[in-house]
Amino acid sequence: MRAFKLYAIKDGTVIDHIPEGKGLKIIHLLGLDRGCNNIVTLGMCFNSKRYGKKDVVKIEKRELTNEEVNKIAVIAQTATLSIIRNYKIVKKHQVNIPDVLEKIICCPNSNCVTNHEPVKTKFLITKKKPIQLNCYFCERAFGLEEVTIH
């Protein structure tokens, strides 16, 4: 088995410790697979002492917004973000699921007002492991596997 390394980036964001197989989903959620002006590198199935296997995503010349970080936190709770400037890590932190998610998740309840009116979705996180969400509008509870992230 050959070992591969991802090259260093001068400026941008590195998303590390992504659960194995979720790196491509993160690229899709962030829209990095659609007309991106940034170079994106995906490393999959790297060995990890802590998690066994992991994925890594590097995005050159771009720092993520809070909304984008929250999207990552929903599907990859173990992920860490590193902000790189001039080849050096200037900030590093683990993603955290906020207590409230707005405009990130679609409500699976077909009768919810968010599916019929131009209302921004809002979910309260009632449990973080495993994730349990309550729609602010219809007040129904959902597990992560029941919702769609947009």
Binding positions for Zn(2+): 107, 112, 135, 138
- In angstroms, how far is the first alpha carbon of the chain from the final one? 37
Residue 25's alpha-carbon distances to 28, 44, 118, 143, in angstroms, are 5, 12, 26, 18
| Cα distance between residue 90 and residue 98, in whole Å | 23
Alpha helices in the chain (DSSP H): 23-29, 66-75
Locus of tokens 């992560």: 144
Maximum separation of any 2 CA atoms in the chain, in Å: 54
CB 32 within 8 A of CB 38: yes
Q: Which residue positions form the known binding site?
A: 107, 112, 135, 138
